[in-house]
Amino acid sequence: MTRSLSAKEHPMARKVKVIAHRGGREWAPENTMAAFRQALDLKVDGIELDVQRCATGELVVFHDDDVGRTTNGVGLVADISLGELRRLDAGSWFDKAFRGEQVPTLQEVLELVDGKCMLNIEIKNTPVSYENIEEDVVALLADYAHKESIIISSFDHYVLARLAEIAPEYKLAVLNDAVVLDLPAYLARFGALYYHPGFDSCRADVVEECHKNGIQVNSWTINGRKNWSRSLDLELDGIVTDDPEDLMVYLGRAVAV
């Protein structure tokens, strides 16, 4: 009888990228500087975050269109000024230890990350639509010294089409949670080098087809060791997870504490 390989012995264990979903939702309030700092301290391969535009025009890092779930406020991000967002508590809902954590701007996160890892910027454009948000993101990234470490993704593929038109130098990722016929041809419409499918729709033949066409596959949101094991067998390029610390331990890249 042959011994089965442990996760750390798997051929993909040192290759697959660990990407902290919203900074790592298991250890800190999502999309906050506290989460991003912990992800950087762990030396993850990448951080995924969400970007919207507030009422005063700044690009802020926030997932939901409404602030109610993860702050003590009410209302749409699009209708709230940056000053008002700053006064919200974005941490206590997660744990009282994070009381007073603020909603960060994309500029602040760029300054914190500063090329230390890959940064996946997901542009939110539904259900609230932000006119010309693509231009705003590109303008903000103009002075970022580590553009090669940026991936821009969106579920709104019109956003990706616009980005391909105005800023073809950026790496684009098609976010999707459904089956796409002739996937390589679809990705080629945007010049996308990355495909980010939901894990439930991620199949071995899809990954293989992408790899044959030079497309990297980072799948979301993958939690738990059973799913991580399947991710390695699928030969995913990146695992987007809420619990990057445990994933790093599972892969043998970090020691459990």
Asked about 196 being catalytic, the answer comes back as no
Active-site annotation holder among 10, 63, 157, 211 = 63
Cα–Cα distance list, 102 to 87, 112, 189 (Å): 7, 15, 38
The interaxial angle of helices 225-234 and 204-212, nearest 10 deg, is: 40
79: amino acid identity, one letter: D
CA–CA gap between residue 246 and residue 120 (Å, rounded): 21
Q: Which of 10, 21, 146, 211 is catalytic?
A: 21
Please indicate whether residue 211 is annotated as part of the active site: no
Residue written as tokens 């391909």?
A: 164
Question: Could you give the C-alpha distances from 121 to 50, 171, 180, 253, in angstroms and in order?
Answer: 6, 11, 23, 25
d(CA 68, CA 66): 6
- Within 50-182, residue ranges assigned H as helices are 82-86, 106-113, 133-141, 157-166
Q: Write the single-letter amino acid at 4.
A: S
Q: Which residues are catalytic?
A: 21, 63
